[in-house]
């Protein structure tokens, strides 16, 4: 069952109340775990083959590049 909430929440305190909205770049961002897992899985499924290097008859995964690009994708860059 899908959660009935946005993928990201921003919590701010205003006049003693906690608001779930975005006010400025200093607000704390919370990401739903299921939304993060879905985004990560989708990126890995569509991009993993770009990081396989074949040299002769050997296959080498390019883990350093994969990790760097994965981090950028998760940050939305």
Q: How many domains does the chain have?
A: 2
| Residues 53 and 77 reside in one and the same domain | yes
Distances (CA, A) of 3 to 6, 8, 32, 33: 8, 12, 9, 11
| Residues 52 and 77 reside in one and the same domain | yes
Summarize the confidence of residues 39-50 as an average pLDDT: 88
Beta bridge partners of 10: 29
pTM across the whole model = 0.56
Structure tokens at 46: 């569509």
Domain range enclosing 57: 33-77
Asked if the model's pLDDT at residue 64 lies above 70, the reply is yes
| Residues 22 and 39 reside in one and the same domain | no
Please give the mean pLDDT across all residues of the chain: 77
pLDDT in tens, 21-38: 665 666 667 777 888 888
| Residues 19 and 53 reside in one and the same domain | no
| Residues 18 and 39 reside in one and the same domain | no
Beta bridge partners of 9: 30
Q: Are 11 and 18 in contact (CB under 8 A)?
A: yes
Give percent of the chain with pLDDT exceeding 70.
Answer: 64
| Residues 16 and 26 reside in one and the same domain | yes
């Amino acid at each position: 069952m899908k959660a009935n909430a946005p993928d990201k929440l921003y919590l701010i305190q205003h006049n003693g109340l906690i608001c779930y909205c975005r006010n400025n770049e200093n607000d704390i961002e919370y990401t739903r775990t299921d939304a993060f897992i879905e985004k990560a899985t989708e990126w890995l499924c569509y991009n993993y083959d770009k990081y396989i290097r074949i040299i002769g008859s050997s296959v080498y995964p390019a883990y350093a590049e994969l990790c760097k690009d994965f981090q950028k994708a998760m940050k939305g860059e």
